[in-house]
């Protein structure tokens, strides 16, 4: 019997598909405890994985056009 609501994975995939349809790119998931960044104790927002791009330490793999 099919449940009347979506699973967590179905909700996640629906969210990702929404942005992929609008030409956004997926980046690899990040850990709660950042790797190689002593300035952050833990990730408290979705922006922390993008910090190297904002600070100019790295070039984004999918630059805006």
The 10s digit of each residue's pLDDT in 4-24 is 889 999 999 999 999 999 998
**Does residue 52 surpass a pLDDT of 90?**
no
> Chain-centre distance of CA 35, in angstroms?
15
Q: What percent of the chain has pLDDT over 70?
A: 91
Q: What is the pLDDT of residue 9?
A: 93
Quick one: CA torsion of 21, 64, 53, 61, rounded to 10 degrees? Answer: 70
Q: What is the pLDDT of residue 41?
A: 74
Q: What is the pLDDT of residue 20?
A: 94
Q: What is the pLDDT of residue 13?
A: 95
DSSP H or E segment with residue 8: helix 8-20
**Does residue 50 surpass a pLDDT of 90?**
no
């Amino acid at each position: 019997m099919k449940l009347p609501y979506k699973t967590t994975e179905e909700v996640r995939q629906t969210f990702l598909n929404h942005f992929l349809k609008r030409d956004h790119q997926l980046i690899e998931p990040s850990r709660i405890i950042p790797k190689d960044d002593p300035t952050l104790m833990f990730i408290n927002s979705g922006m922390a994985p993008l910090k190297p791009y904002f600070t100019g330490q790295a070039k984004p793999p999918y630059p805006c056009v």
